[in-house]
């Protein structure tokens, strides 16, 4: 983030969590109304999770292509206005409440294919988009995957698996419609996204995007660039990513993503990464880099291990990568997700890049007076959160504590309120959760970001993700647009602490 940036506030809510009629949040009317809510609340940042097309497990941190847009987010009602769909054809995708990804997979793509059947592929803008070739590998990968029963690419016939040039050219010609369908969904997604972003930016609000450190094992990224990853000859991962035992899991987190061959990346000046970052800033105004510590040292585990306990730390690219990005693309607004197991090397890299790190208040009140997450100890070059998408909501976090731990939390929170000159009572779970939001806004961090659930004081049933748990995540949705009262109350706090 810009070091000269004025104090400001933001709200964390992913596109999937917006309310609406389509079974998942989309780039349609609710997204525009939520932007209006942000404007009324005084927030100047809207932070989202990766916009990518999700694969198995539905995680935005496991995508079929790192630079893709999620077809689930396409507003079908906008396609109906263009004459590509009838409203009655959208009905099977409609539904409120938590997201049912299996149902969406069965029905939304069927509706999108119907829209594509009516789309004129000779459209000038679409032909130009296709000709640019930015989604060539993605479209081929998805088309071949579809024709091979959605199997992982390492199980495809060898001529496709190992990218035989003649075989790929023949496949493309013989399956032109399928290939063009996947280009169509990216074309429509980007058109709708840029229209929304233009609207949001015109309100004076910037969008914070998110890029995962790693890509999925079964992805167009790995298929098209196998030499950039530590793979076996059969193109299956040799080493996979994760983190050792930590706050979230006693056996660590075994993510399963193939790790990078950083020597290979360095040999061409990190070209793949520079292109990935360039495309990210074509979508967002600022970017949160997930698992930033992995650029200093990363944790790799032998493929086939059942947990992340038996991993090893390896040296990452360090500052050389960010130096190459800066030389190519200039100074960019990054947020470094510097949570987890840190050491001196990470701190040196943070200092050298100058990127702001994250301070999460759920980690603050452990009784350590030197805890760097305590609001009174947070410095300006930081982004303060009550919690992230990987945390429980503040209300859920407090409700799960035993009575003794909760009482100790209240005492420590009162101490921080006093240090920051805030006169308010803490007398229960909801008041403590509300006080945490105020502490985030009151601290010295240049940007304070509140998850929407913590603004609404929602319970743990609205949690977005539980790390290391494979099922039931990424399903949270707002039932309706936040009330005017929530915007007014947030605006009062944002104004009180000089963030407006």
* Mean pLDDT, residues 74-89: 97
Distance CA 498, CA 494 (A): 6
* Mean pLDDT, residues 463-484: 93
Catalytic residue among 22, 337, 413, 438: 337
* pLDDT tens figures, 111-155: 999 999 999 999 999 999 999 999 999 999 999 999 999 999 999
- Sketch out the chain's domains with CATH numbers: 8-356+446-496 (3.20.20.80)
Tell me, rounded to whole angstroms, the distance of Cα 353 from its chain centroid.
22
**CB 444 within 8 Å of CB 375:** no
Most confident among 92-96, 422-426, 437-441 (mean pLDDT):
437-441
CA angle 241, 243, 247 (to 5 degrees): 155
* pLDDT for residue 105 is more than 60: yes
- Residue 240's DSSP bridge partners are 258, 301
Active site residue 29: no
* pLDDT tens figures, 277-327: 999 999 999 999 999 999 999 999 999 999 999 999 999 999 999 999 999
Active site residue 390: yes
* pLDDT for residue 5 is more than 80: no
* pLDDT for residue 3 is more than 60: no
Backbone angles phi, psi at 141, to 5 degrees: -60, -50
Percent of the chain with pLDDT over 70: 99
Coil, helix or strand at residue 210 = strand
Q: How confident is the model at residue 248 (pLDDT cuts 50, 70, 90)?
A: low
Model confidence, pTM: 0.96
Q: Which of 69, 53, 240 is nearest to 61 (CA)?
A: 53
Q: How confident is the model at residue 359 (pLDDT cuts 50, 70, 90)?
A: very high
Catalytic residue among 75, 390, 416, 438: 390
Q: Which alpha helices (H) appear in 420-446, and where do they start and end? A: 429-442
Q: How confident is the model at residue 97 (pLDDT cuts 50, 70, 90)?
A: confident
Active site residue 290: yes
* pLDDT for residue 469 is more than 80: yes
Tell me how many helices (H) and strands (E) the chain has: 19, 12
- 40, 42, 235 from 195: Cα distances, Å: 20, 22, 39
Coil, helix or strand at residue 243 = strand
* pLDDT tens figures, 8-18: 999 999 999 99
Catalytic residue among 210, 218, 290, 338: 290
């Amino acid at each position: 983030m810009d070091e000269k940036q004025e104090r400001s506030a933001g709200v964390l809510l992913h596109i999937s969590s917006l309310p609406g009629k389509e079974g998942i949040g989309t780039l349609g009317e609710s997204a525009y109304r939520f932007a209006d809510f942000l404007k009324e609340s005084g927030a100047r940042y809207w932070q989202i999770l990766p916009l990518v097309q999700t694969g198995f497990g539905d995680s935005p941190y496991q995508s079929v292509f790192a630079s893709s847009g999620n077809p689930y987010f396409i507003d079908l009602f906008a396609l109906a206005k263009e004459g590509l769909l009838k409203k009655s054809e959208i009905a099977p995708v409609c539904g409120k409440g938590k997201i049912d990804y299996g149902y969406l997979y069965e029905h939304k793509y069927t509706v999108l294919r119907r829209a594509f059947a009516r789309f004129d592929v000779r459209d000038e803008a679409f032909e130009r988009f296709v000709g640019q070739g930015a989604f060539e590998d993605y479209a081929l990968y998805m088309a071949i995957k579809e024709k091979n029963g959605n199997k992982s690419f390492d199980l495809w016939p060898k001529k496709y698996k190992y990218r035989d040039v003649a075989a790929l050219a023949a496949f493309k010609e013989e399956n032109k419609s399928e290939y063009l369908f996947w280009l169509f969904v990216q074309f429509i997604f980007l058109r709708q996204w840029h229209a929304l972003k233009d609207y949001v930016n015109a309100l004076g609000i910037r969008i914070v995007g998110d890029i995962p450190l790693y890509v999925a094992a079964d992805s167009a990224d790995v298929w098209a660039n196998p030499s950039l990853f530590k793979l076996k000859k059969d193109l299956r991962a040799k080493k996979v990513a994760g983190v050792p035992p930590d706050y979230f899991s006693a056996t660590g987190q075994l993510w399963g993503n193939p790790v990078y061959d950083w020597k290979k990346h360095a040999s061409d000046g990190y070209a793949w990464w520079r292109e990935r970052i360039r495309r990210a800033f074509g979508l967002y105004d600022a970017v949160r880099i997930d698992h930033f510590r992995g650029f200093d040292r990363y944790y790799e585990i032998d493929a086939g291990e059942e947990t992340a306990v038996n991993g090893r730390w390896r040296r990452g690219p360090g500052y050389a990568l960010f130096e190459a990005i800066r030389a190519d693309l200039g100074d960019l607004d990054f947020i470094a997700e510097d949570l987890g197991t840190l050491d001196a090397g990470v701190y040196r890299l943070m200092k050298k890049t100058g990127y702001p790190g994250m301070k999460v208040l759920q980690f603050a009140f452990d009784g350590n007076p030197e805890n760097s997450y305590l609001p009174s100890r947070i410095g300006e070059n930081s982004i303060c959160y009550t919690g992230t998408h990987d945390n429980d909501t503040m209300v859920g976090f407090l409700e799960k504590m035993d009575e003794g731990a909760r009482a100790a939390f209240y005492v420590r929170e009162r101490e921080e309120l006093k240090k920051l000159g805030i006169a308010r009572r803490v007398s229960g779970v909801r008041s403590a959760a509300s006080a945490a939001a105020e502490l985030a806004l009151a601290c010295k961090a240049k940007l304070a970001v509140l998850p929407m659930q913590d603004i609404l004081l929602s319970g743990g049933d609205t949690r977005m993700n539980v790390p290391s748990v494979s099922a039931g995540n990424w399903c949270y949705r707002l039932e309706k647009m936040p009330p005017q009262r929530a915007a007014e109350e947030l605006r009062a706090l944002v104004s009180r602490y000089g963030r407006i």
